[in-house]
Structure 1
Amino acid sequence: MFSFFLKRLLLLIPVFLAVSMVIFMIVHLVPGDPIDNLVQINSTPEQKAALAAKYGLDKPLYQQYAIWLGKALSGDLGDAIILRRPVADLIALNLPHSLALGTLALAFSTLVGIAAGALAAVYKDSLVDRTTMTMILLGSTVPGFWLGLLLIMLFAVQLGWFPVSGARSWDALVLPVLTIGLGGVALVARVTRVAMMETARKDFVMMLHAKGVPSWQIELRHVLRHALLPVVTILSLRIGWILGGAVTVEFVFARPGLGSLLITSLNQRDYPVVQGSLLMLAIAVMLGTLLGDIVQAAMDPRVRERIK
């Protein structure tokens, strides 16, 4: 198992280098100049050039990338141009809010999605199946930012049950978690339903029915357990997706987090903060994929054999 983990970890190194290069190039291709947000209206070209040299923006892009990557590998993500604080400190200040939101949203979408998918699979082609999947499909087609605004209008403005925005109390998490989690419920439920229906056609399931094992035990103890393998794959990918999806949701609910930090920094063309935030999101996706592979390998030895 350790050799499997080591091989998967080594495979992430070229992926990390490629992703870091893409992030750096995309950020620097965005129109605008962060120096314009620092200088005064009547500043001379010499003053702008001095500021550009101070932050290393006067060097060729390949040199800037090499310097940034070298520092990033040592844990130094540079200093924010506008806020004039270490980027690592800004990320450390905002990351806990995004992690709390993402973890709760992932847990919600996992539990509700698996339960809904299992219910639809057990009662396949029935009214329960059609109703469940129709509601899930409708929920997955609503854009997250629009769903967030609808929830604010209904539960915060009209009913007054939850705060409109901010992160001052635990109940401020409810609406953002629902906004992010409902989209994931649809995906998890569909994968669970299909996987359970395929597993139910296996020979060992027919044998269990022939032995007289109660249907509910077969569905819960055997079919659902074997069907969780593709669900784990989806959930591992959703770890990074949820953090990325929280960008717009945090902005809609005016919550602190990587999303709000990223959008603010994009508007200000603050390259170091944008690069650091995007790099953290990319690392979250890679670590989520690695975690999913490890869980899959622990559940199914055939996964370990394929990579030898």
Structure 2
Amino acid sequence: MISYFARRLLLLIPVFLGLSVVIFMIIHLVPGDPIDHILQIGSSPERKAALMAKYGFDQPLLVQYGIWLGKLVQGDLGDAIILKQPVSTLIAQNLPYSLALGSAALVFSTVIGVTIGALAAMAKDSFFDRALMGIILAGSTVPSFWLGLMMILIFAVELGWFPVSGAKNWQAMVLPVLTIGLGGIALVARVTRVAMLDAARQDFVLMLHAKGVSRREIYLRHILRHAMLPVVTLLGLKIGWILGGAVTIEFVFARPGLGSLLITSLNQRDYPVVQGCLLMLGIAVMLGTLLADIVQAAMDPRIRDRVS
């Protein structure tokens, strides 16, 4: 198991390098630069040239990337051009809000999604099955941005049950969690349902029926457990999706977090902050995938034996 983990960890190195190249090139190919946000209207070209040289923007892109990557491997994300603070400090201040929001949304969507998927599998091809899956599939097509606005309008503005914005207490977290979590329920439910129906066709299920084990116990105690492998894989991939979804939702609900920091920095063309935020999101996806692979290997030894 240790050798399997080591191999999977080594595979992340080229992925990380590729991610850094993509992030750097995308940011620097976008029109505009942070110097324009620093300078006032009417500033001299000499002043702009001096600032470009100060922050290294007068260097070729390859040189700029090499400098950034060299600092990156040393744990230095650089300094924010507009906010004048270390990028690592800004991320450390905002990341806990995003992690709390994303974790709560992940737990919510997983619990509800697995429950719905299990109920649908137990009632296969019935009206209840079709209606349940139809409702959640229809709900998953609603854009999270629009859903967040509707929740603010109904539950915060009209009914006054929850705060409109901020992150002062747990009540301010309810609507953002629902907005992000509802979008992920459908996928978890579908994967759970398909995995359980596939497990229900295995020979051990026929043996349990022959022993007189109740249908409810077979599904909830045995089939559901065997169906967890693809669900665990999905959850690892959903970690990055949840944090990515928090980017827009934090902005909609005016919450502090990585998403709000990213959007603000994008508007200001603050390259170091944008690169740092995108890098954190990319690392979250990589670690989520790694975690899913490790859990899969622990649950099913055939996977790590096949890789070996």
**After superposition, what is the alpha-carbon deviation per residue over 1:97-149, rounded to whole angstroms, capped at 9, x for unaligned?**
00000000000001000000000000111122122111111210000000001
In 1, Cα distance between equivalents of 2:284 and 2:57? 28
In 2, Cα distance between equivalents of 1:245 and 1:101? 10
In 1, Cα distance between equivalents of 2:139 and 2:302? 35
- Deviating beyond 2 angstroms after TM superposition, the runs of 4 or more aligned structure 1 residues are none
Alignment identity in percent?
74
Q: Indicate the residue corresponding to 2:232 in structure 1.
A: 232
In 1, Cα distance between equivalents of 2:252 and 2:40? 31
Q: Indicate the residue corresponding to 1:16 in structure 2.
A: 16
In 2, Cα distance between equivalents of 1:132 and 1:158? 29
Q: Indicate the residue corresponding to 1:212 in structure 2.
A: 212
Query: Tell me, what secondary structure is at the counterpart of 2:227?
Result: helix
Q: Indicate the residue corresponding to 2:186 in structure 1.
A: 186
Query: Tell me, what secondary structure is at the counterpart of 1:165?
Result: coil
In 2, Cα distance between equivalents of 1:149 and 1:138? 18
In 1, Cα distance between equivalents of 2:284 and 2:11? 15
Q: Are 1:34 and 2:34 matched, yes or no?
A: yes
**After superposition, what is the alpha-carbon deviation per residue over 1:144-183, rounded to whole angstroms, capped at 9, x for unaligned?**
0000011111111111100011111111000000000001
In 2, Cα distance between equivalents of 1:127 and 1:152? 33
In 1, Cα distance between equivalents of 2:213 and 2:168? 51
In 2, Cα distance between equivalents of 1:3 and 1:221? 32
- The code of the aligned residue for 1:256 comes to P
Give 1:161-180 correspondences, 5 Å limit: 161-180=161-180
Q: Indicate the residue corresponding to 2:57 in structure 1.
A: 57
In 1, Cα distance between equivalents of 2:132 and 2:74? 49
Q: Indicate the residue corresponding to 1:69 in structure 2.
A: 69
In 2, Cα distance between equivalents of 1:105 and 1:197? 26
Give 1:134-283 correspondences, 5 Å limit: 134-283=134-283
Query: Tell me, what secondary structure is at the counterpart of 1:43?
Result: coil
Q: Are 1:298 and 2:292 matched, yes or no?
A: no
Aligned length: 308
Provide structure 1 residue ranges, at least 5 long, that are not aligned to the other structure: none
Compute the displacement of 1:51 (Å). Answer: 0.5
TM-score between both structures, scaled by the size of structure 2: 0.99
- The code of the aligned residue for 1:53 comes to A
In 1, Cα distance between equivalents of 2:135 and 2:21? 41
TM-score between both structures, scaled by the size of structure 1: 0.99
Provide structure 2 residue ranges, at least 5 long, that are not aligned to the other structure: none
Q: Indicate the residue corresponding to 2:98 in structure 1.
A: 98
